[in-house]
Chains A and B, each alone.
Chain A
Amino acid sequence: MTALIELRGAGKSFANRTVLQAVNLNLVPGRIVTLIGPNGAGKTTLVKIVLGLLQPDTGSVQRSVQLRVGYMPQKLHIDPTLPLQVDRFLQFANADTAVCLAALDRVGIAHLIKQPVSGLSGGEMQRMLLARALLRKPNLLVLDEPVQGVDVTGQEALYQLIGELRDELNCGILMVSHDLHLVMAATDEVVCLNQHVCCHGTPQQVSVDPEFVALFGAKTALYTHHHDHEHGLHSGVVNGATSGLRDATCSHDTAQQAAKEGSQPDV
């Protein structure tokens, strides 16, 4: 398959501090690649290189001539002094109201078209940003922390939507995420970044990689704790190699995850 973007040995430093070194990244149509890594790992820098906002100091970036990027930024702060409704926000990407409405409808918030942007909830805001990215008719979506500020049910719905969009548009997707658990279910390939690519592969491969465990294992592992109810029912499911990395009382999500993956005991 022809790559949309291919990075070979990309490196970047700011003021003599190396932020990225020797990064290889290959984005192809129809595949979701998720970028994870601790703060300061260079995720933002790598995203900016993919977007063409930054040039790498070393290495090369190959872009397909047909490349059209839809970008969903990490956070949108609209100053309250700027009166801006959802339709007007989308018109920056496409002036046609009908097209904008269709995009909003696709992400499930067509009813919000006349709402002020500053009044949207976290999930609505992310969907609006996604709609704007779609308006570019992209073959590559770059989503920087797409579920930020969204509650856990909303996160699952959003990841599901992203998966559907990938199938419909057959576009490549590059996602940045902190939320290791949910994103693992929604991705084809994980790239674990800590200035260099520590490890990459399918979620199953990466989650047992020693470098990944060293970075995330002790603290956040594959998962964060979102729910507030008791769940003794699933506690028996957690066992095997990675169970020691997780809080034993919080096995609910892990069990769901395992079920979704077709019972992978180690995920």
Chain B
Amino acid sequence: MYDFLFLALFAGLGVALVAGPMGSLVVWQRMAYFGDTLAHGSLLGIALGLWFSWSNSIAVVVVCLFIAGLLIVFERQHLLATDTVLGILSHGSLALGLVALTLIPGARTDMEALLFGDILTVTTAEVTVVWLMAACVLIALWRLWPSLLAITVHEDLARVEGVRVDVVKAVLKLLLALVVAISMKVVGVLLITALLIIPAATARHFAKTPEQMAVLASIIAMLAVCAGLAASWWLNTPVGPSIVVSASLFFVLVLAGRGYRPLA
């Protein structure tokens, strides 16, 4: 009877698990705006999916990868500042997605579900996809972790020590695109970045090593998913925003409990 609740919980926990290490990297490398851009672009992915009758997840992944590729190309050109390029890609693709969704004949889309998530209607197939993708991303992060940290600390030093910096950076962007694609159903286009950065920022206060921060961020994100689902169940609030509110509450509580002390 409560199957849908368990499916929702499973999907949410899968996303939260991978959001820990990925969110930490997003925070360290200041990629929050990039995450937002991918998230906005995924709306365009949904539109494309409806247009060509592809599965949603595939269409979203395709568009996110395309945007990540565009950004890599733009960054190499050095014509515009990165945040300007991101602004163009982010809002351009969001607007295009919104327009495209209304133009598609016969498509009745629930805009609110797209923007803020619709985890309670998640299917078994979708949960499987979430966990498969999460597993792939986690394995890739595991393998690349030393290189990812090394380029976070100093790119040229990493390069001299033999890290293939450009490849690692490109792969990180692509992995983030995958995470965005699977997060969309859980928290929606507008809140994906929050699920990545708020648990990581909270975990920062307790962590002494990068690995501690990544693992703690996963745990905090999972707690936020549970709390958000519970709040939604008892208070009848939308799930996606409830998850993000829970994560934000954790952050505020930690900040208040800790007071102003320098970070370790």
Chain A residues near B (Cβ < 8 Å): 48, 51-53, 69, 71, 73, 76, 78-85, 88-89, 92-93, 116, 118-119, 132, 136
Contacts and interface: CB of A to CB of B under 8 A. Distances in A.
Nearest to A89: B153
B263 A80 contact: yes
B156 A51 contact: yes
B160 interface: yes
B209 interface: yes
Contacts of B209: 83-85, 88
Interface in B108-130: none
A132 B213 CA distance: 23
A92 B153 contact: yes
A78 B264 contact: no
Contacts of A80: 263
Contacts of B213: 83
Given A82-B152, A83-B208, A84-B209, A51 B160 contact: yes
B237 interface: no
A53 B263 contact: no
Nearest to A87: B209
Contacts of A118: 263
Interface in B15-34: 27-28, 30
Question: For the complex, would chain A's binding face be called helix, strand, loop or mixed by DSSP majority?
Answer: loop
Contacts of B262: 119
B55 interface: no
B146 A92 contact: yes
A85 B159 contact: no
B161 A93 contact: yes
Contact of B28 (A51, A52, A73, A81): A81
Interface residues of B, number: 27
Contact of A53 (B30, B159, B200, B201): B159
Contact of A81 (B27, B150, B160): B27
A83 B210 contact: yes
A73 B264 contact: no
Contacts, number: 63
B156 A88 contact: no
Residue of A48, A83, A85, A116 with most chain B CB atoms under a 10 A cut-off: A83
Given A92-B161, A116-B264, A83 B204 contact: yes
A71 B160 contact: yes
A73 B154 contact: yes
14 contacts: A51-B156, A53-B160, A71-B156, A71-B157, A79-B152, A81-B28, A83-B204, A83-B263, A88-B210, A89-B153, A116-B208, A116-B264, A118-B263, A119-B262
Interface in B143-189: 146, 149-150, 152-154, 156-161
A85 B264 CA distance: 9
B160 A92 contact: no
Nearest to B205: A83
B43 to A, nearest CB: 29
A161 to B, nearest CB: 20
CB-based closest 8 A-B pairs: A71-B160, A83-B207, A82-B28, A92-B150, A81-B27, A73-B157, A51-B160, A83-B208
Contacts of B158: 92
A51 B27 CA distance: 29
B110 to A, nearest CB: 36
Contacts of B159: 51, 53
A52 B152 CA distance: 20
A80 B152 CA distance: 12
B212 interface: yes
Contacts of A71: 156-157, 160-161
Contacts of A53: 156, 159-160
Contacts of B204: 81, 83
A82 B210 contact: yes
B203 to A, nearest CB: 9
Interface string B34-60: 000000000000000000000000000
A83 B264 contact: yes
A92 B145 CA distance: 11
Nearest to A144: B156
A76 B160 contact: no
Given A53-B156, A71-B157, A82-B152, 20 more contacts: A51-B159, A71-B161, A73-B157, A79-B30, A81-B27, A81-B200, A82-B28, A83-B210, A83-B213, A83-B263, A83-B264, A84-B210, A85-B208, A85-B209, A88-B209, A88-B210, A92-B153, A116-B208, A116-B263, A118-B263
Contacts of A51: 156, 159-160
A242 B150 CA distance: 46
A120 B263 CA distance: 13
A136 B157 CA distance: 12
